[in-house]
Chains A and B, each alone.
Chain A
Amino acid sequence: MAELERTSASQPAAPAEWAYASAPEARDIVRLADRYGHFVGGDWLEPTETYATIAPRDEEVLATVGQGTPADVDRAVAAARAAYADGWSSLPGSERAKYLYRIARLLQERSRELAVLESLNGGKPIKESRDVDLPLAAAHFFYYAGWADKLEYAFPNRRPRPLGVAGQIIPWNFPLLMLAWKVAPALACGNTVVLKPAETTPLTALLFCDLLRQAELPPGVVNIVTGDGRTGAALVEHPGVDKIAFTGSTAVGKEIQRRLAGSGKRLTLELGGKAANIVFDDAALDQAVEGIVNGIYFNQGHVCCAGSRLLVQESVYEPLVAKLERRLATLRVGDPLDKNTDVGAINSAAQLAKIRELVASGLEEGAEIYQPPCELPEKGYWFPPTVFTSVAQSYRIAQEEIFGPVLSVLTFRTPDEAVAKANNTPYGLSAGVWTEKGSRILWMAQRLRAGVIWANTYNRFDPSSPFGGYKESGFGREGGLHGLEPYLEFEE
């Protein structure tokens, strides 16, 4: 049965032929400089070392940016420290709030420009950067703006105080949104920051500096130093930094935790995941299929909370997989700036190599692969949406974070077995549950060891909703009232 449906899906009857008409978003709204320095103390600091940042869709060089040295980091930390002491930390919360509201408004006003640049430099589909990244980034600043003058109500009897200088290291999957998650609460709480964008996606953070200029944010409150892991290491180890906030891989998170051992610096980590997306036999299957697709193919699967392990109750395994494969064939893979694109470019050559290596391991270990027929562009970094079936829990594709558009399908019989399999991972960031039975949703939600549970939905985010992991997915929360705590100390 499933086999029949598969065949018919790949050979549509009629119309026989029609030409695809793309709907490209104009990129001329973005005016890039040839070269960017580091943003330190409200000014551009000429870098001593540089590298080229590219568009992953065609490897076009977009600009030359600085490779931050320990000396650059040192100047940025000094600027942040000076700004902290010279007024930012003692500015009334109501005034800090107004700066954050300004930034939120500027993000809304310049959202199209930033969205295009985000898709260009990161490879994600324009409809995602336009409809998800930018609105959420603006909302995050707007949300935390409102907290800046209400901290004593968030933490009654605790007399909250800022920590000082926060060092923040963010990933390449949601470059501007992760900047917002980091910078907004830090500033709302009265800290100043030194932020290092991801090596491959520095451009929206550098354009954000122009918004800071327009917002007239005091110099040194936000400093941005670009570069690779060496720059991040210099920031982590800088003695003038009071707190490190890191979002990225679990391996690097552990290394940061080790390097900070004994330093007394505060630390929050938002690390990897291998989320189970669990479908019970009473679920609305078509809705579940949409949730599964959104769970793993959103942003090419470059999502720490991606629903990368699909757990299907055995009795609906065949119809569900048939529906899923049919749906996959309708996904449009291609130019991130095409408004029709569902799956964009893989972020970097290194990430593409990692995805290929793990997919090869899946084949070698004995899983069955399905990829819909789709033409991939010749230049750039691409990987088609992929589903693995016949996956055992021990396979690497069921254990390791792939961070790509690759789904591993496993099955279960009972709710207890679903819980056991879902929790059988060192990670614990997120999970999905699909069932029409309310009491079962709550029963599952209670037992899944993960920080975010999406029931009958997936990959929803909101500034008021705390986000963060259990176990090796990290500690600390971003978003909501709980997202303030990592940036405060208390006099109790």
Chain B
Amino acid sequence: MSRLPVRKTYKLFIGGRFPRSESGRTYEAEGQNVARASRKDARDAVRAARAAQPGWAGATAYNRGQVLYRLAEMVEARVVEFAALCSGREEVERSIDRIVWYAGWADKLPQVLGGSNPVAGPYFNFTLPEPTGVVAVLAPDEPPLLGLVTRLVPPLVGGNAVVAVASETHPLAAIELAEAIATSDVPAGVVNLLTGYRAELAPVLAAHMDVNAIDLTGADGERAELERLAAENVKRVVRGRADVQSPWEIASFLELKTVWHPLGL
């Protein structure tokens, strides 16, 4: 008698939990029923991200680097599963290596981007990078895993919390990644992953007043409208590439803070 396998329900990842869409809707992708997040799910994800962000930003850079390295370990442990959900093993390995590469930036970036400024007066003056806050990411449709990792990890390294909309056509790799994140030490709410219709979710995130920056890499025809919506709270708008690896990708989601203090007795 052959054993009947236990099937997985493909759910959202919000605030460290795996809820179904509050709307009760799913859509079919890659032969599976996948949760179709509603606008309310998107707003819930932003709330979770906002609540988690100060703690993540307040962790030491060394700690953030280790947590992201742990994520690479968790993905490595699932290479076979991930390979079946994207273009194959090579894409998974490149994704893992990219996470490791970015993990190492956590405690180095402030030295590259910041510094002290030689002002003409009796003041000590220095500039430091800080996270911008909550970042919305529209992941590209392809490559399903590497594209998401490429856009998701840079804002995380710098201390932002992220609400990401997965590839609409290939969402299963994103759901698998959410499960790896949940079993790493990334605090709940720091990464939130939504599956569903991009056309439905993207405008909510672009217009949301508590989202500080939006990555439109995965946006297609609606880009101009999303940028218009983003202006409502002066969002930082990033138009990136699906396969790129650079510290300046991290810098797009950082603010620079400059502090002055007089010198004297």
**Chain A interface residues toward B at CB < 8 A:** 139, 158, 250, 253-255, 257-258, 260-262, 269, 271, 426, 441, 445, 450-457, 460, 462, 464-468, 470-475, 477, 480-482, 490, 492
The answer to whether A455 and B260 touch across the interface, beta carbons within 8 angstroms, is: yes
Given contacts A455-B260, A456-B262, contact A262 B234 (CB under 8 A): no
Q: Interface-forming stretch among B77-85, B103-111, B219-227?
A: B219-227
The answer to whether B236 and A475 touch across the interface, beta carbons within 8 angstroms, is: yes
Taking A445-B257, A472-B233 as known contacts, 5 extra A-B pairs with beta carbons closer than 8 A to each other, sorted by chain A number, are: A454-B260, A457-B261, A465-B119, A466-B127, A475-B236
Bound-complex Cα distance A258 to B234 (A): 9
Closest to B113 in A: A482
The answer to whether B255 and A465 touch across the interface, beta carbons within 8 angstroms, is: no
Distance from A141 Cβ to chain B, minimum over Cβ atoms (Å): 14
The answer to whether B234 and A467 touch across the interface, beta carbons within 8 angstroms, is: no
A261's partner among B228, B256, B261 (CB-CB below 8 A) is: B228
Q: 5 tightest CB-CB pairs across the interface, nearest first?
A: A262-B224, A261-B227, A257-B231, A462-B119, A261-B228
Q: Name, among B119, B223, B236, B248, the residue most crowded by chain A CB atoms within 10 Å (CB to CB).
A: B119
The answer to whether B233 and A452 touch across the interface, beta carbons within 8 angstroms, is: no
Given contacts A462-B119, A462-B125, contact A250 B258 (CB under 8 A): no
The answer to whether A482 and B127 touch across the interface, beta carbons within 8 angstroms, is: yes
Residues of B within 8 A of A455 (CB): 259-261
The answer to whether A262 and B223 touch across the interface, beta carbons within 8 angstroms, is: yes
Residues of A within 8 A of B227 (CB): 257, 260-262
The answer to whether B233 and A441 touch across the interface, beta carbons within 8 angstroms, is: no
The answer to whether A450 and B117 touch across the interface, beta carbons within 8 angstroms, is: no
The answer to whether A467 and B236 touch across the interface, beta carbons within 8 angstroms, is: no
The answer to whether A451 and B255 touch across the interface, beta carbons within 8 angstroms, is: yes
Bound-complex Cα distance A453 to B255 (A): 13
* Total count of chain B residues near the partner, CB < 8 A: 34
Distance from A145 Cβ to chain B, minimum over Cβ atoms (Å): 15
Bound-complex Cα distance A451 to B228 (A): 24
Closest to A492 in B: B246
B167 at the interface (CB under 8 A from A): no
A462's partner among B120, B223, B244, B246 (CB-CB below 8 A) is: B120
The answer to whether A258 and B228 touch across the interface, beta carbons within 8 angstroms, is: yes
The answer to whether B132 and A453 touch across the interface, beta carbons within 8 angstroms, is: no
Residues of A within 8 A of B119 (CB): 460, 462, 464-465
B118 at the interface (CB under 8 A from A): yes
Bound-complex Cα distance A464 to B120 (A): 9
How many residue-residue contacts, CB under 8 A, span A and B?
105
B121 at the interface (CB under 8 A from A): yes
Residues of B within 8 A of A462 (CB): 117, 119-121, 125
Closest to B239 in A: A264
Bound-complex Cα distance A475 to B235 (A): 8
Given contacts A456-B262, A471-B233, A474-B234, contact A466 B256 (CB under 8 A): yes
Residues of A within 8 A of B120 (CB): 139, 462, 464
Distance from B130 Cβ to chain A, minimum over Cβ atoms (Å): 8
Using a CB-CB cutoff of 8 Å, which residues 199-249 of chain B contact chain A? Answer: 212, 223-228, 230-234, 236, 244, 246, 248
Given contacts A262-B223, A462-B121, A466-B117, contact A254 B257 (CB under 8 A): no
B27 at the interface (CB under 8 A from A): no
Distance from B223 Cβ to chain A, minimum over Cβ atoms (Å): 6
B260's partner among A158, A260, A460 (CB-CB below 8 A) is: A460
The answer to whether B234 and A250 touch across the interface, beta carbons within 8 angstroms, is: yes
B62 at the interface (CB under 8 A from A): no
Residues of B within 8 A of A269 (CB): 234
Closest to B58 in A: A446
The answer to whether A471 and B234 touch across the interface, beta carbons within 8 angstroms, is: yes
B234's partner among A271, A482, A492 (CB-CB below 8 A) is: A271
Give me 17 A-to-B residue pairs in the complex whose CB atoms sit less than 8 angstroms apart, sorted by A's number: A253-B234, A258-B231, A260-B227, A261-B224, A262-B223, A269-B234, A445-B259, A457-B262, A462-B121, A462-B125, A464-B125, A465-B260, A468-B256, A470-B132, A474-B234, A480-B258, A492-B244
Residues of A within 8 A of B236 (CB): 475
Residues of A within 8 A of B225 (CB): 261-262
Bound-complex Cα distance A490 to B249 (A): 13
Distance from B23 Cβ to chain A, minimum over Cβ atoms (Å): 29
Bound-complex Cα distance A238 to B119 (A): 37
Residues of B within 8 A of A457 (CB): 123, 260-262
Residues of B within 8 A of A451 (CB): 255-258
A257's partner among B127, B230, B255 (CB-CB below 8 A) is: B230
B232's partner among A254, A441, A464 (CB-CB below 8 A) is: A254
Residues of A within 8 A of B232 (CB): 254
Residues of A within 8 A of B117 (CB): 462, 464-466, 480
Bound-complex Cα distance A474 to B255 (A): 10
Bound-complex Cα distance A52 to B93 (A): 67
Closest to B234 in A: A472
Bound-complex Cα distance A269 to B125 (A): 23
Bound-complex Cα distance A468 to B233 (A): 16
Bound-complex Cα distance A335 to B119 (A): 32
Residues of A within 8 A of B248 (CB): 158, 490, 492
The answer to whether B260 and A452 touch across the interface, beta carbons within 8 angstroms, is: yes
Residues of B within 8 A of A465 (CB): 117, 119, 125, 127, 258, 260
Bound-complex Cα distance A481 to B32 (A): 51
Closest to A451 in B: B257
Chain B 116-136 near chain A by CB (<8 Å), digits 1 or 0: 011111010101000010000
The answer to whether A453 and B231 touch across the interface, beta carbons within 8 angstroms, is: no
A470's partner among B244, B255, B260, B262 (CB-CB below 8 A) is: B255
Bound-complex Cα distance A323 to B262 (A): 22
Bound-complex Cα distance A465 to B118 (A): 8
Closest to B222 in A: A262
Distance from A37 Cβ to chain B, minimum over Cβ atoms (Å): 34
Distance from B49 Cβ to chain A, minimum over Cβ atoms (Å): 16
Bound-complex Cα distance A84 to B260 (A): 37
Distance from A386 Cβ to chain B, minimum over Cβ atoms (Å): 27
Distance from B59 Cβ to chain A, minimum over Cβ atoms (Å): 13
Residues of A within 8 A of B132 (CB): 470
Distance from B116 Cβ to chain A, minimum over Cβ atoms (Å): 9
Bound-complex Cα distance A26 to B14 (A): 68
Residues of A within 8 A of B127 (CB): 465-466, 480, 482
